[in-house]
Chain A
């Protein structure tokens, strides 16, 4: 506290005429401290986040040629976006459309029916204008993704980077949530060696994604990898993960999960440990089964944390780029290419306009998905 009193003495002295330059500086800092605390962060974000964001928007509507001594920029309106959605890059971004198969029709109509049911049940439960406008985005997005799936992969055609990204996000995060929660649940029980497991399970989070990519390439090698004898025994010695679209995608999801399950695990473990033990024991005395205890007592208590953790995870999952780049370079064809990687490849071929357009499309679907998830799941769970 001696520092504090000398500081206050300095302030008293500051009104006297014989103050030094250092005192005046201190006084100025003190008067403006509310700005000095906040502005460095705001300025950094403005310069390195908002400025590039706006600049990227400008580039997305332009065609940029790199040439000796600088750039040549020509505005082309919506052309970059049109090319991705309707034009020559449609196969790359959305997928190859074919004649819709019976399965495709069934799936598309089922999704449509579900969205209509969702709309009707929302309108019945008392609607507001803002609420309806806000929900138009997720409704549209679900319809779009559902029909895209119906006309591409369900009709026997490959899909593009948009659905691949959603595959990583939905399937990957789903797996990570289930396994992470299961491990956290097991670890939260009264067992010995809990701390050892805790440190051990945390390890993968610290390894660089690029290292994980190469390590899992070694793991999955069917002739030189550690599981080669198993593959050969199963008669799959010549099989290569990297040449089958679905195997390659699953392969990336396994590596991604290996890295990110620890994150879900460590957050949910803390949530499980926060559930008061008395509740469980009281229920156990009343003869409730483990499953009943989990569903009725533990689950409602960890839901808010689980929703927040998954929101963070989904945000990060949309950015996936290192693993597909290292493990498969987006191949076979474009089967494992995420939208981030799509933009990166466009940048590498010096097509900055296309790169920015794809990046902006990624930003749009990320924001719609995350904001909808936040409003419809996280907030709702917290309120009820």
Chain B
């Protein structure tokens, strides 16, 4: 019997499992090593970082807490502000997008919509016209907006009955999910100008709303698949008892979707927690988030403060790590219900 013959049907050969373990362990090392390096760098003294690589605490080098002292005592105000901002922004934007997104997904599963194609076309045309007028020809934006709304309402009344082509729920769903294709750079300049004109730049509100919207497509997509997999009988019997759509959603559907909600919430929260580009545009000081603080450790003439930066990144990873380990069992179950079905 050779090394590569299976011992029993359904089992691997000895050689096969050795190779499997070797490959998996090699990948585990590749995953762990950068994280390990990050953690020990945060405990190195400046000279230990600059002199060349040292690998093992207490053997190669004497750990020092100077980076942590900088971060948690001397710059505590900055750190606390960024940390509090990040937590509030991640929590609020996740709550907003999960709430709004799952309501929309539920409606798309259970209610039939038929928006008119002509209405949508008209809407885009009047919006573009109003924008062009106010940006290019200096028309006051309130005037341009009012004229556009008037034209839109009148034309919808007039045209609506003549071009009756309608779209379905699938089109709405595709439209919402396809928003994910937009790279942030495509929309960030107008969003910046928009918040500037209402004086909300550098506030948490602006970042919360923006994050909620960019993560909305993910919520709608995952929760649509999840709600689709829930049997309808329960909801129908609740409806027969006279329950409204709100009651059914709150009392029947949401409790049944806990795994999907947990996975979606975790994913969206991680994305909001880690986002950098939009925060860079929308915050200057007061609303700074943790990723911005990380980038701030690349401080001009002194070069990169590797030790403090490593400490900041470690502090950033910790809460997500705890959350992910707690919710781990939901991740594989929840996210994949719809996706695996293709």
Q: Which residues of A contact B (CB under 8 A)?
A: 1, 3-5, 7-8, 11-12, 26, 29-30, 33-34, 37-38, 40-42, 44-45, 48-59, 62, 71, 73-75, 179, 182-183, 186-187, 189-191, 197-212, 214-219, 223-229, 258, 266-267, 269-271, 274, 277, 280-281, 284-285, 290, 304-305, 307-309, 315, 318-319, 321-322, 326, 340, 343-344, 347, 352, 355-356, 358-360, 362-363, 366-367, 370, 382
Contacts and interface: CB of A to CB of B under 8 A. Distances in A.
A16 to B, nearest CB: 16
B106 to A, nearest CB: 6
Nearest to A320: B183
A210 B41 contact: no
A302 to B, nearest CB: 9
Interface stretch (B3-11, B74-82, B157-165): B3-11
Give chain A's interface secondary structure class.
helix
B96 to A, nearest CB: 9
Contacts of B45: none
Contact of A363 (B24, B183, B291, B309): B183
Contacts of A48: 187, 191, 209-210, 213
Interface in B143-199: 172, 175-176, 179-191, 193-194
Interface stretch (B62-70, B243-251, B254-262): B243-251
Interface in B247-284: 247, 249, 251, 270, 273-274, 276-277
Contact of A226 (B30, B37, B124, B342): B37
Contacts of B41: 218
Interface of B: 6, 9-12, 16-17, 20-21, 23-24, 27-28, 30-35, 37-38, 41, 49-53, 55, 100-101, 103-104, 106-108, 111, 113, 124, 127-128, 131-132, 135-136, 172, 175-176, 179-191, 193-194, 209-210, 212-213, 216, 220, 238, 241-247, 249, 251, 270, 273-274, 276-277, 290-291, 294-295, 298, 304, 306, 309, 313, 316-317, 320-321, 324-325, 328, 331-332, 335-336, 339-340, 342
Contact of A38 (B33, B108, B128): B108
B335 to A, nearest CB: 8
Contacts of B317: 206-207, 211
Contacts of A182: 23
A55 B27 CA distance: 46
B273 A322 contact: no
**Closest A-B pairs by Cβ, 10 of them:** A8-B242, A304-B342, A41-B104, A37-B107, A52-B190, A52-B187, A55-B190, A208-B274, A211-B313, A33-B245
Contacts of B175: 45
Give chain B's interface secondary structure class.
helix
A321 B277 contact: yes
Given A48-B209, A202-B331, A216-B34, 4 more contacts: A29-B246, A57-B128, A201-B27, A355-B185
B142 to A, nearest CB: 15
A53 to B, nearest CB: 6
A382 B342 CA distance: 8
B241 A201 contact: no
Contacts of A54: 124, 127-128, 131
Nearest to B328: A199
Contact of B251 (A3, A56, A271): A3
B9 A201 contact: no
Contact of A367 (B104, B181, B298): B181
Given A53-B182, A57-B128, A271-B340, A34 B238 contact: no
